[in-house]
Amino acid sequence: MEARSNVESKARELQSRVGPETREAARGLGDLNARIVNFIRQRPGACLLGALAFGFIVGKIASRR
């Protein structure tokens, strides 16, 4: 029973130290996602061409193996 209490205590301590950083990272990723979506909406053709080029390059690399 004491081991479980110790584990729970360590988990709470870890959460209190890492929790704010995790929330900040989530906010940053949400902002990045919004910026990417906005970029794609403004330039769909360029994004499509970029995706095609990327796929072509990956296909060439994969076919060599």
Find all residues with CB under 8 Å of 47, minimum gap 6, and list them.
39, 40
All structural domains of the chain with their residue ranges: 2-63
**CA–CA distance, 27 with 18 (Å, rounded to integer):** 14
Local confidence band at 29 (pLDDT 50, 70, 90 cut-offs): very high
What is the mean pLDDT of the segment spanning 8-25?
86
pLDDT of residue 49 exceeding 90, the answer is yes
Helix/strand/coil percentages in the chain, nearest 5: 95, 0, 5
Q: How confident is the model at residue 62 (pLDDT cuts 50, 70, 90)?
A: very high
Report in angstroms the alpha-carbon separations of 1 from 8, 12, 31.
Answer: 11, 17, 43
Tokens linked to 49: 């061409």
